[in-house]
Chains A and B, each alone.
Chain A
Amino acid sequence: MWRLARRKRNAVSLKPTLPMVTVSYGVLMFAAIISIVPFLYILSTSVKDTNSLFSYPPEWIPDVLYWGNYAKLLQETSFLNWTLNTFMIGLAVTVLKLVIDAMAAYSLAKLQFAGKKTVSAVLLLAVAIPVAALVIPLFFLVRSMGLLNTYWALILPALANPLGIFLLRSFIVSLPDDLIHSARLDGAGELKIFAQIILPLIRSGLVVHAIFTFMLQYTNFLWPLVAIQSESRQVLTVGISSLKSNFVVDWGLISAASLLATIPITLLFIALQRFFLAQSLSSALKG
Chain B
Amino acid sequence: MASAAVEYRSVSKIYGDFVAVHNLDLPIRHREFLVLLGPSGCGKSTILKLLAGIEDPTSGEIFVNGNLVNYLLPRDRNVAMVFQNYALYPHMTVAENIAYPLKARRWATRNRTNVGDKVLQAAKLVEISDQLGKRPEALSGGQRQRVALARALVRDPEVFAMDEPLSNLDAQLRDSMRQQLIALHRRVGKATIYVTHDQHEAMTMADRVVVLKDGIIQQVGTPFEVYNEPINTFVAGFVGHPKMNFVPGISLGGKSVRVGKLDLQSNCRTGPEGKPLMVGLRPTDAKFEASLNCIRGTVAASEFTGADTIVTLSTGLPEDLRFRLIDASSCHPGQAAAFSYAAEHVHIFDQNGNRT
Q: Does A76 contact B (CB under 8 A)?
A: no
* Contact residue among B53, B83, B91 (Cβ-Cβ distance under 8 Å from A182): B83
Interface size of A as a range:
10 to 19
Q: Does B228 contact A (CB under 8 A)?
A: no
Q: Which residues in B have their C-beta under 8 angstroms from that of A197?
A: 89
* 15 intermolecular pairs with C-beta atoms under 8 Å apart: A176-B85, A178-B83, A178-B84, A181-B49, A181-B52, A181-B83, A182-B81, A185-B52, A186-B101, A186-B105, A187-B75, A187-B104, A187-B105, A188-B75, A188-B100
CB nearest to A188 among chain B residues: B104
Alpha-carbon gap, A182 to B83, bound state (A) = 8
Q: Does B151 contact A (CB under 8 A)?
A: yes
CB-CB contacts below 8 Å: A191-207 with B: 192, 197, 200-201
Contact A179 B87 (CB under 8 A): yes
**Dominant secondary structure of chain A at its interface with chain B:** helix
Q: Does A183 contact B (CB under 8 A)?
A: yes
Q: A residues engaging B (CB < 8 A)?
A: 176, 178-179, 181-188, 192, 197, 200-201
Q: Does B235 contact A (CB under 8 A)?
A: no
* Contact residue among A176, A178, A179, A186 (Cβ-Cβ distance under 8 Å from B75): A186
Alpha-carbon gap, A239 to B101, bound state (A) = 53
Q: Which residues in A have their C-beta under 8 angstroms from that of B53?
A: 184-185
Q: How far is the CB of B14 from chain A (nearest CB, A)?
A: 16
Q: How far is the CB of A70 from chain B (nearest CB, A)?
A: 45
Contact B90 A201 (CB under 8 A): yes
Q: Which of B49, B80, B100 has the most CB of A within 10 A?
A: B100
| A-B interface, 5 closest residue pairs, ranked by CB to CB distance from nearest | A187-B104, A182-B87, A186-B101, A187-B105, A178-B87
* Contact residue among B75, B91, B155 (Cβ-Cβ distance under 8 Å from A184): B75
Q: A185-B54, A185-B79, A197-B89 are in contact. List 11 more A-B contacts (CB 8 A).
A: A178-B83, A178-B85, A178-B87, A179-B89, A181-B81, A182-B83, A182-B87, A184-B75, A185-B75, A187-B104, A201-B90
* Contact residue among A176, A192, A201 (Cβ-Cβ distance under 8 Å from B87): A176
CB-CB contacts below 8 Å: B57-115 with A: 73-75, 79-81, 83-85, 87, 89-91, 100-101, 104-105
Q: Which residues in A have their C-beta under 8 angstroms from that of B83?
A: 178, 181-182
Q: Which of A186, A188, A200 has the most CB of B within 10 A?
A: A186
* Contact residue among B80, B84, B90, B104 (Cβ-Cβ distance under 8 Å from A183): B104
Q: How far is the CB of A130 from chain B (nearest CB, A)?
A: 38
Q: Which residues in B have their C-beta under 8 angstroms from that of A181?
A: 49, 52, 54, 74, 81, 83, 87
* Contact residue among A184, A187, A201 (Cβ-Cβ distance under 8 Å from B54): A184
Alpha-carbon gap, A4 to B134, bound state (A) = 51
Contact A185 B81 (CB under 8 A): yes
Alpha-carbon gap, A185 to B51, bound state (A) = 11
Q: Which residues in B have their C-beta under 8 angstroms from that of A192?
A: 104
Q: How far is the CB of A243 from chain B (nearest CB, A)?
A: 47
Q: How far is the CB of B141 from chain A (nearest CB, A)?
A: 16
Q: Which residues in B have their C-beta under 8 angstroms from that of A179?
A: 87, 89
CB nearest to A201 among chain B residues: B91
Contact B73 A184 (CB under 8 A): yes
* Contact residue among A176, A178, A184, A186 (Cβ-Cβ distance under 8 Å from B151): A186
Q: Which residues in B have their C-beta under 8 angstroms from that of A200?
A: 91
